[in-house]
Amino acid sequence: MSKKLVEVQNLKQYFHAGGSLFKPKYVKAVDDVSLFINKGETLGLVGESGCGKTTLGRTILRLYEPTAGKIIYDGVDITKVNMLPYRRKMQIVFQDPYASLDPRMTVGDIVGEAIDIHKLASSKQDRRDRIIKMLEHVGLNSEHANRYPHEFSGGQRQRIGIARALAVNPEFIVCDEPISALDVSIQAQVVNMFEDLQSELNLTYLFIAHDLSVVKHISHRIGVMYLGKLVELAESNELIFHSAHPYTRSLISAIPIADPKTARKSKRIVLEGDVPSPLNPPSGCRFRTRCPYATELCASQEPELREISSGHYAACHHLDKVPNN
């Protein structure tokens, strides 16, 4: 469990966003993020839209070239190497099952494409067997291989997306909001499938979602992002029950709890305002414009992510002011 499979160090991903030639403007989508994921572990990543969680996931796979920083996979620095051999080991499941499957390809070909690229099949028969095995893994069957994506429901399409990721026997999968587009009763089916596949195939996940209750359910550890920064990282239960950062606090309290009695008792911390534009983030601590504890120190100095208890990291100047819960 304790072997690091994926590690990023001071990863930065800036997108060019206009400005003049000599004074270009950048969106700092991911800014100086360091984290690691152990083998066989699920790391959850939560945050509001625009906080950079998807960009971080994609940059780890080098679908975007990082602006600065290092990506280390299984002890090897892969920031600059040819990715082809690593593409087989690192896969992704996308958010929208309606947009991420080519409508003109059969399901068999969608799943088989990666097998062809990596030349994993020794014969036509072997290719077909592999495809069927993958479809069966995700709860579909062999006759589905000849059909087209439009014939499937959202939940089934997401299963096809997962089968495609699994086809090359990967070790690490980035799950980018894989269940947000699904109905409640179908979400549980897909979440369970992710868990079963993990224990069966010893997979490592980076699970990105905005729904904290789902992330908490599936992850061993959770990272919270705000405007391109990692603000808190801890083991799941620790993060939910003993969160330290004021942003995490408000994020947790904003979630409507599906239990009327608790809901009547609990008092929400409602954050004022919207997330500031990442083009022009606040100086110092980026959360200070919405933070109830902000002081002058927060405006001038950026808080560092530091370990507050074993394995629990938070970036805030005023952790002592945040009341215990």
Partner 1 sequence: MSELLLNIQNERLSFFTPAGEVKALNDVTIQMKEGDVLGIVGESGSGKSVTAYSIMQLLPHTGRVVGGTIEFNGHKINEMSEKEMQAIRGNEVSIIFQDPMTSLNPVYTIGNQIREVIMLHTKKNRKEANERAIELLTLVGINEPAKRLKQYPHELSGGMRQRVMIAIALACEPKLLIADEPTTALDVTIQAQILELMMELKDKIGMSIIMITHDLGIVANMCQKIAVMYAGKIVEYGTVDDIFYNPQHEYTKGLLRSIPKLNDTEHKKLVPIEGTPVDLLNPPKGCPFAPRCNSCMKICLNKMPEYTEVNEGHISACWLLQKKEFEQGGK
Identify whether the C-beta of residue 169 lies closer than 8 Å to the C-beta of residue 197. no
Residues 6+ apart with CB under 8 A from 253: 266, 267, 268, 269
Residue closer to partner 1 (CB basis): 194 or 313: 194
How many other C-beta atoms lie within 10 A of the C-beta of residue 147?
A: 15
Among 82, 258, 265, 320, binds partner 1 (CB under 8 A): 258
Identify whether the C-beta of residue 2 lies closer than 8 Å to the C-beta of residue 38. yes
- Paired residues of 234 in beta bridges: 222
Residue span 117-156 as binding mask against partner 1, x where in contact by CB under 8 A, dash where not = ------------------------------------x-xx
* CB of 208 vs partner 1, minimal distance in Å: 14
| Chain centroid offset of residue 237 CA | 18
Residue closer to partner 1 (CB basis): 7 or 41: 41
Among 72, 83, 191, 201, binds partner 1 (CB under 8 A): 191
User: In the chain, helix, strand, coil percent, each to 5?
Assistant: 35, 25, 40
Residue closer to partner 1 (CB basis): 117 or 257: 257
Q: Which residue reads 């993060």 in tokens? A: 239
Residue span 218-247 as binding mask against partner 1, x where in contact by CB under 8 A, dash where not = -------------------x--xx------
Residue closer to partner 1 (CB basis): 132 or 239: 239
Residues 6+ apart with CB under 8 A from 177: 54, 95, 208, 209, 210
Residue closer to partner 1 (CB basis): 73 or 152: 152
* CB of 53 vs partner 1, minimal distance in Å: 12
Residue closer to partner 1 (CB basis): 66 or 161: 161
Residue closer to partner 1 (CB basis): 78 or 251: 251
* CB of 311 vs partner 1, minimal distance in Å: 17
Residue closer to partner 1 (CB basis): 49 or 125: 49
C-alpha triplet 220, 224, 228: angle, nearest 5°:
135
CA separation for the pair 49, 104 (Å, rounded):
31
Residues 196-215 that bind partner 1 (CB under 8 A): 210, 212-214
Among 260, 265, 267, 320, binds partner 1 (CB under 8 A): 260
Among 62, 159, 216, 317, binds partner 1 (CB under 8 A): 216
**Is 183 near partner 1 (CB under 8 A)?**
yes
Q: How far is CA 84 from CA 78, 80, 141, 165, 296, in A?
A: 11, 12, 30, 15, 48
Q: Which stretch binds partner 1 (CB under 8 A): 106-114, 158-166, 252-260, 310-318?
A: 252-260
Tokens linked to 72: 């280390």
Among 270, 280, 296, 310, binds partner 1 (CB under 8 A): 270
Q: Nearest-CA neighbor of 171 among 91, 59, 263?
A: 91
* CB of 231 vs partner 1, minimal distance in Å: 14
Identify whether the C-beta of residue 265 lies closer than 8 Å to the C-beta of residue 247. no
Among 48, 96, 109, 113, binds partner 1 (CB under 8 A): 48
Pairing of strands 172-176, 90-93: parallel
**Is 102 near partner 1 (CB under 8 A)?**
no
What DSSP character marks residue 118?
T
Positions in the binding site for partner 1 (CB under 8 A): 48-49, 153, 155-156, 183-189, 191-192, 195, 210, 212-214, 216-217, 237, 240-241, 250-263, 268, 270-271, 274-275
